[in-house]
């Protein structure tokens, strides 16, 4: 891990300890999956069909499963890269909000995913728009924007 990411990781392990601890448990359950470092976070490519961020831990699916291929012409690899940036944005939210992360971001995000209408982009909700912006700002890479899911 590069020295510039140490403050990020220390913040996740102090102010964001609740979600980082939960992320560590999920990481341990996914130990056989592929892992890498991404801007100070630990990224795991797991076999679940969705992405999630828990403190300093990011979990993303290996293949794009959910975008309108008629409207967007991205490869599976590009969608995975963009999803990684999006999920990294959630780790930044975690670092900012600490113990309030689940209340302000996590729970509303899960509820949104369960109740959104099929003609709405998952990334139009405030938690997801914010994650996209933060991910792009802190990585300099493209996120999910308004890709339909």
The tens digit of pLDDT for each residue in 60-86 reads 998 766 555 556 677 778 888 999 999
103 vs 14: CA distance, rounded Å: 18
pLDDT tens string for the chain (149 positions)? Answer: 577 788 888 899 999 999 999 999 999 999 999 999 999 999 999 989 888 999 999 999 987 665 555 566 777 788 889 999 999 999 999 999 999 999 999 999 999 989 988 788 888 899 999 999 999 999 999 998 766 65
State if pTM tops 0.85.
Answer: yes
26 vs 100: CA distance, rounded Å: 20
């Amino acid at each position: 891990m590069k020295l510039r990411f140490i403050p990020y990781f220390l913040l996740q392990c102090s102010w964001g300890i609740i979600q980082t601890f939960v992320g560590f448990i999920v990481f341990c359950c996914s130990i056989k999956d592929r892992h890498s470092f991404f801007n100070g976070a630990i990224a795991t490519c797991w076999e679940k069909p969705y992405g999630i961020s828990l403190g300093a831990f990011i979990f993303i699916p290996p293949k794009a499963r959910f975008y309108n291929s008629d409207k967007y012409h991205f490869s599976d690899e590009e969608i995975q890269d963009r999803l990684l940036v999006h999920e990294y944005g959630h780790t930044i939210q975690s670092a900012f909000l600490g113990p309030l992360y689940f209340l302000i971001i996590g729970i509303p995000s899960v509820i949104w995913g369960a109740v959104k209408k099929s003609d709405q982009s998952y990334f139009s909700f405030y938690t997801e728009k914010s994650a996209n912006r933060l991910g792009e700002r802190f990585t300099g890479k493209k996120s999910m924007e308004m890709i339909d899911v």
